[in-house]
Amino acid sequence: MKKIVLLLAFFSLVVIVAIGYLSDRNYEPTIVQQLKQKYSKKYPKDVDHSRFPILQQKFTSPQQVTEACESCHNLTAHQIMNSNHWNWERAEFIKGKGIVYLGKANAINNFCIGTKGNELSCAKCHIGYGMDSTRKIFADSTNIDCLVCHDNTETYAKAGEKGGAPAPGLDYNKIAQSVGKPKRTNCGVCHFYGGGGNNVKHGDLEMSMFEPTKEVDIHMGTDALNLQCVDCHTTKQHMISGKLYSLSSMNLSRVTCEQCHTETPHESDILNEHTYKVACQTCHIPVYSKVNSTKMYWDWSTAGRLRNGEPYEIDDSLGNHTYLSIKGSFIWARNVKPDYIWFNGTASHYLEGDVINDTTKPLVLNPLHGSYNDYESKIIPVKIHVAKQPFDPVNKILIQPKLYSPEKGEGAFWQDFNWITASSVGMKDAGLPFSGKISFIKTEMYWPINHMVSSKEQSVQCIECHTRKNSRLAKLKDFYMPGRDYSPFVDIAGNWLIILTLLGVLTHGILRMFSSKKSKKV
């Protein structure tokens, strides 16, 4: 008897050890090892530009540099001139709206709202020289700014508010002789500062990504593989893959994790099955804005307050502007847990002049499409940027105000602080009607989070979603998720059934005890 009990205990132990052993699969996948090997190889440059005589000449203008480039790269200009980096727009098909040409040229966002009329300031991030509101520069290939992307000295810089012209005092020879593949600095100088400051827009792209640690980004970490932007954003003929749905609409030329890691990168089948409905980013980017804060809320309606007739700013303890007379009030956040939505790769957009029918709820400027029942959809992490921005309550359209002007008196809000004149000039520049009345409407923009990937140890754990309380996916209610969902009826009925059984057994046992005592006495 004792022997058998011991044997049984031994068996239980064997079973549990077997379960543990059979389910343990904690080693690095081969594919990751292969990728590490591939991307740690260093290749020498094919060409040394410093030896070309044409780059030894004394350059007096940036256009001369471009001409020198084009003397050898003589079939390249048209590639640039067909790109959205140059045109600030591309053809997009939007469901319900057909084919539209959409881009920075004409989009309305809920940051600095739009570029129209504000070109001198906005074009600091255009890959060309000398953009103004006439936008005539696009026809001339010598206006292409090769250097902003290809400078490898990290000394090239653009001047502020000069329509994209370079800063004064640059050594064009040194810069032109250094050219090579774009590095993180080349891309980051625009893409990290969109919206008028570091990390205003994206949340996952900001100046800490110039030289990130692997804690910030496991791929780009200088102490890890030190990947450059273009390692993933592969490029053919100056068409750079990858795009963001603040402006894009179609499920095309996206950069995906799967292009390196495959669709089933995990050793565990259960994790691999997740990839059918869950994007990699959802688990592998647990927080964004890991180093510096990102802007979460922008209230234009408080803009324009002056002290002694002068604009002013208020900063928080981290140096983030919480108020600017020219722009309004802001809320910033750091180490932000993303919001999660279903996304199938297509988006819609508020286009200039679109009439807003329902002004009672927030207007989403770029609704991302998707749902659980849509086979193409996966859950992705997003930053939701909320704003209160000017709109015309009579025409029911968003207002594109004139913001920047070098001089006072031209109606620019940043000079004159008058919403009515800024709106009437801005709407005239944009070719849109303006009733003369201004109101403010709550708007939202969805920014998919794709960068700042964490190590697998730091990725989102099962319980952070599969839980009844505070699930990361609490807002996605269109599907059943184990651990989070249950049938209240089954659970309550089941609990009662178990309680009643226990009570029944207990009562029965007690009655038996008493009756057996009684019978012993007899």
Assess 11 for contact with other proteins (CB under 8 A).
Answer: yes
By C-beta, is 72 or 502 nearer to other proteins?
502
What token pair was written down for 59?
A: 């350059």
Residue whose CB is less far from other proteins, 110 or 471 = 471
- Token pair for 313: 């700013």
Q: Which two tokens stand for residue 437?
A: 């009345």
Q: Choose one: 15-23, 72-80, 169-177, 216-224; the region binding other proteins (CB under 8 A).
A: 15-23
Q: Which residue in 8, 91, 314, 318 binds other proteins (CB under 8 A)?
A: 8
Nearest to 148 by CA among 86, 212, 68, 82: 86
**Amino acid identity, residue 285?**
I
Burial annotation 475-508 (CB, 10 A radius, 16+ → b, else e): ebeeeebeebeeeeeeeeeeeeeeeeeeeeeeee
| By CB under 8 A, residue 491 contacts other proteins | yes
> Which amino acid belongs to residue 15?
V
Q: Interaction with other proteins in 177-236: which residues (CB under 8 A)? A: none
Gyration radius of the chain's alpha carbons? 30
> What gap in Å lies between CA 379 and CA 367, rounded to an integer?
15
Using CB under 8 A, pick the residue from 47, 72, 167, 497 that binds other proteins.
497
By CB under 8 A, is residue 498 in contact with other proteins?
yes
Among all chains, which residue has been given the structure tokens 């980017």?
A: 285
* 95 neighbors 348 (Cβ within 8 angstroms): yes
Q: Would you state the structure tokens that stand for residue 191, as one six-digit string?
A: 């893409």
The answer to whether the beta carbons of residues 390 and 302 sit under 8 Å apart is no
How far apart (Å, rounded) are the C-alpha atoms in residues 86 and 79? Answer: 10
User: Segment near other proteins (CB under 8 A), from 4-12, 81-89, 113-121, 160-168?
Assistant: 4-12
List the one residue from 33, 262, 502, 517 that touches other proteins (CB under 8 A): 502
Among residues 160 and 509, whose Cβ is nearest to other proteins? 509
CB of 466 to other proteins, least distance (A): 5
Nearer of residues 8 and 420 to other proteins, judged by Cβ: 8
Phi, psi torsion values for 222, nearest 5 degrees = -70, -20
Residues 429-488 binding other proteins (CB under 8 A) are: 461-463, 466-468, 479-487
Location of structure tokens 């250097």: 147
Span interacting with other proteins, options 11-19, 241-249, 279-287, 405-413, rule CB under 8 A: 11-19
Within 10 angstroms of residue 244's Cβ, the number of other Cβ atoms is 17
Provide the token pair at 171.
């050594």
- By CB under 8 A, the residues from 371 to 430 that bind other proteins are 373, 375
8-state DSSP, 224: T
Among residues 31 and 505, whose Cβ is nearest to other proteins?
Answer: 505
Smallest gap from residue 455 Cβ to other proteins (A)? 16
Minimum CB distance to other proteins smaller for 93 or for 276: 276
> How far is the C-alpha of 190 from the C-alpha of 125, rounded, in Å?
6
- Does the protein bind other proteins through residue 511 (CB under 8 A)? yes
Binding residues (CB under 8 A) for other proteins: these are 1, 4-5, 8, 11-12, 15-16, 18-20, 22-23, 268, 270, 273, 276, 373, 375, 461-463, 466-468, 479-487, 490-491, 494, 497-498, 501-502, 505, 508-509, 511-512, 515-516, 519
